[in-house]
Amino acid sequence: FSALHHAALIGNTELISLLLEAQAAVDIKDNKGMRPLHYAAWQGKKEPMKLLLMSGSAVNIQSDEGQIPLHQAAQHGHYDVSEMLLQHQSNPCIMDISGKTPLDLACEFGRVGVVQLLLNSNMCAALLEPKPGDSTDPNGTSPLHLAAKNGHIDILKGG
């Protein structure tokens, strides 16, 4: 866990700028393979995200659990951050090690706005289909199944 991770986690843009000017590695990994961009996305910190992205942080780099920053932003319902990541070519189709996409997590946790954003990105339509061969569910599980299982009726109604 580096100073840049800490600065991204707490959203300290001044410290992020100083560290980047001092040549801190923008995509340095912590002990779980998470980069500073993961932490900024997790906390919904838009300004730190901008600084990290302008400094070349990779939007599709995966943690040890297979998550990209968009997984973090989607799970925690950070619409603006999710939108920014998509604008920087984040791939909403990437699955983590448990086979979940950012759309799956947004549905599972009832993040209606982020669900709509991801669906409107025109990259997620196929992700609504059940996943064949899912070991936890022989019938396949779709994001809509996850929303229903967790009682997020608003997602099933389309917002």
Every domain range in the chain assigned CATH 1.25.40.20: 1-58, 68-159
pLDDT per residue rounded down to tens, the chain (159 residues): 899 999 999 999 999 999 999 999 999 999 999 999 999 999 999 999 999 999 999 999 999 999 999 999 999 999 999 999 999 999 988 999 999 999 999 989 989 899 989 988 766 555 555 555 544 444 556 665 665 666 656 655 554
SS3 sequence of the chain: CCHHHHHHHHCCHHHHHHHHHCCCCCCCCCCCCCCHHHHHHHHCCHHHHHHHHHCCCCCCCCCCCCCCHHHHHHHCCCHHHHHHHHHCCCCCCCCCCCCCCHHHHHHHCCCHHHHHHHHHCCCCHHHHCCCCCCCCCCCCCCHHHHHHHCCCHHHHCCC
Q: What is the pLDDT of residue 135?
A: 45
Q: What is the pLDDT of residue 10?
A: 96
Give the class (CATH, top level) of 68-159: mainly alpha
> What CATH architecture applies to the domain 1-58?
Alpha Horseshoe (1.25)
Q: What is the pLDDT of residue 138?
A: 46
